Amino acid sequence: MERISWISQAINMNIVNYYREVISNIVLDEFSLKIDDIKNISFEFPKESDLGDFSTNAAMVLAGKLKKPPNEIAESIIHSISKNPDIENVNIAGKGFINIKIKRKVWQNLVHKIIQNKSSYGDADLGNKEKINIEYVSANPTGPLHVGHTRGAVFGDTLSNILNKVGYDVCREYYVNDAGEQIDKLAKSSFVRYQESCGINSVTIPEGLYPGDYLIPVGDKIKEIYGHDLLDKEESFWLPLVKKISIDEMLNIIKKDLKFLNIEHDVFTSEFDLLNDGFVEKIFKELNDKDLLYEGETSPPKGSDLKEWVKKKHILFKSKNFGDDEDRVVRKHDGSWTYFMPDIAYHKNKSIRGFKKMINVWGADHSGYISRVTSAVNAVTDNKASLEVKVCQLVRLTRGSEVVKMSKRSGSFITLKEMVDEVGRDAVRFMMVTRKNDAPLDFDYELVKEQTKDNPIFYIQYAHARICSVIRKVSEEKLFDIDDKYLLKSEINLLDKNDDIELIKIVSNFPRIIEQSALYREPHRLAFYLKDLASSFHSYWNLGNENADFKVINKDDIETSRARLSLIRSVGITISEGLSLLGIEALEELR
């Protein structure tokens, strides 16, 4: 019999998936089915907790295939489920919906398992150590990172953390677009700043170049290396020298900006290197050998000079063969490459390095480019590699109701560093994943500086800090030993109130949230979950302010206090682990 396996049985802390597996195997055995037959079966927490701990629509989903009434199928499933020693009761609701309640000891035991395993809580082996390349940021090295880059940077880095957590071998990559017209503009802009650094104040920055003050240090660097030697040289002489310095200096700025957000890439791949070492030409020949190129005419790209395109023969890639809506030019009539050909070669380079799974994180202005690149990946890898593209929509900055647009530093855009300097790394990282990546996001400077429950990152940090404060207080007053090895000896069965169990249930959902965030590439699920967990913890804590029986720490009942401290310790571990995946520090004290 073909079996289904959702989790590693070694730790068995993913309660939701464990019982999903139990039920799935019962259904497979009971009705001699295959795994594909049950792929649409849901296994969820019910909307109302009094209905049970889990609900499944298995009987209704299978009714058509088995040609039996849902209730008859449900009765068969219930008969087998009831034999499991963890099950307290099972019942049918409506036309075949099955509600399952497990014994409290299962929930209670989870608290000790979390404390015992700590940082491995939420681990999974979904990736099975498969290599996956995640390319994100990849901003042109022509200026500092701005708010648009920030969202993609945080999304890509958080997704990398999550995929690593569930067992993928993740490579974080930055593609450096260090070739082309924009790099010439960068070098020419830097040369103007070099002239200024040499005392020539009569020069102005021509229209079309980069006017930002961030290039002043680049000009100073050029002077430091060459003195005044370049001033009387022809452009053909100084341009390649200034390009190299400008790119290096801008990449240093970009890396420092990313460091402010606790982001570091494993690999920086240079477009110039791919062109310079002949790799792009090599892949072009490969495509030609596969009969995937042809000479023809096409409409000019938006914004192009019509004279370069009208009645001219270009070399086109047959991207329509791979799902694109039209064939694309890779080499223009004058022999120069379009930007598309180096991109094709770059993705071939990734596949040669062993990446069969690739994820690119792009800004909203690149969404029209998706089909041609995915078609190219299929072509150059013979459909052996896959590319997913996740597009991050725009971020709107506000101060209350006022929209913020201008930057003191750049004169036009808000830089990443300016955001971090004002509100802090943690606030920036959290807010950038509070909405699904393909939805526009509002970032309110005033909200993220508030110390209220309306500010989600403060509310979550406050929950963790409060837990740490309770543990410190118990230690200072020497009520009992609070080391984890002693908490593992607590009488966990004393967590017998409904509120205890409901909080454990929310904690138990963490591995499932991680799994879903990974499978659907949606880090915002984790941000929402942590906010809900923090809210549930605060409510649980506040019960003790209303009723002494619910106090977490009660000096007159040490054993119950130790059990409840174990519970909130498990909450703290979960919050800390969740925040670490978001790249955020779990504060032990509020600053």
Residue 479 makes CB contacts below 8 A (sequence gap 6+) with: 553, 555, 558, 561
**According to the model, what pLDDT value does residue 259 have?**
96
Which ranges in 136-227 belong to alpha helices (H)? 147-165, 181-197, 216-226
- 569, 115 Cβ separation under 8 angstroms: yes
The counts of H helices and E strands in the chain are 20, 15
Distance between CA atoms of residues 120 and 465, nearest Å: 21
Q: Where are the alpha helices (DSSP H) in 478-523?
A: 484-487, 498-508, 510-519
Residues 6 or more apart from 9 whose CB is under 8 A from it? none
Q: Are 130 and 170 in contact, with CB atoms under 8 Å apart?
A: no
Alpha-carbon span 317 to 372, nearest angstrom: 10
In the sheet with 402-403, reading across from the earlier edge strand, the strands are: 402-403, 395-399, 441-444
Give the model's pLDDT for residue 39: 85
pLDDT at 410: 47
DSSP 253-319: HHHHHHHHTT---SEEEEHHHHHHTTHHHHHHHHHHHTT-EEEE--PPPTT--GGGTTT--EEEE-G
pLDDT of residue 43: 86
The answer for residues whose C-beta is within 8 angstroms of residue 389's C-beta and 6 or more apart is 359, 360, 361, 362, 370, 373, 374
Mean pLDDT, 10 residues at a time, the chain of 591 residues: 43 77 88 87 84 90 90 90 90 87 94 93 94 97 92 98 97 96 95 95 88 93 96 96 97 96 97 96 96 88 68 90 91 92 97 97 90 94 96 92 66 83 95 96 92 93 96 91 92 95 96 96 98 97 89 93 96 98 94 75
Sequential DSSP letters for 334-382:
TSPBPTHHHHHHHHHHHHHTT-SEEEEEEEGGGGGGHHHHHHHHHHHTT
